Amino acid sequence: MPAPGDLLLIDGRASVQFGGDRALWLRVTSVCDKPTYHGWVWLTGYSVDPASGEALARREVFVQIAGLQIRPRTTDSAPPRNVAPLMRRRGV
């Protein structure tokens, strides 16, 4: 089951609407817990440019869990490129 933070390749194996050149990489922000058809799930996240890692657009997709391809998480200590730097508090 996907979880927030996962990076997924969504292609024709997950849903026919993402077949061929319509495949996309999705960074999951939430997984809907409402009941749906067995083996299917609603995911919310951001489509990601595979070359740069930049978020492109917010998406909500309905896909088959068995067809999702989850990219393994890395142990990099570097922050994601599309996250704004944290502001430091005064006097710290």
Using CA atoms, how far apart are residues 68 and 64, in angstroms rounded to an integer?
7
Q: Is residue 39 part of a domain?
A: yes
- Any domain includes 88: no
| pTM, entire model | 0.75
Structural domain for 21, as ranges = 7-71
Q: In what order do the strands lie in the sheet with 40-48?
A: 55-64, 40-48, 24-31, 7-10, 69-71
State how many domains the chain has. 1
Q: Is residue 35 part of a domain?
A: yes
Least confident of 9-13, 35-39, 71-75, 84-88: 84-88
In a domain, residue 92? The reply is no
pLDDT, tens digit, 9 for 90 and up, residues 17-60: 999 999 999 999 999 999 999 999 999 999 999 889 899 999 99
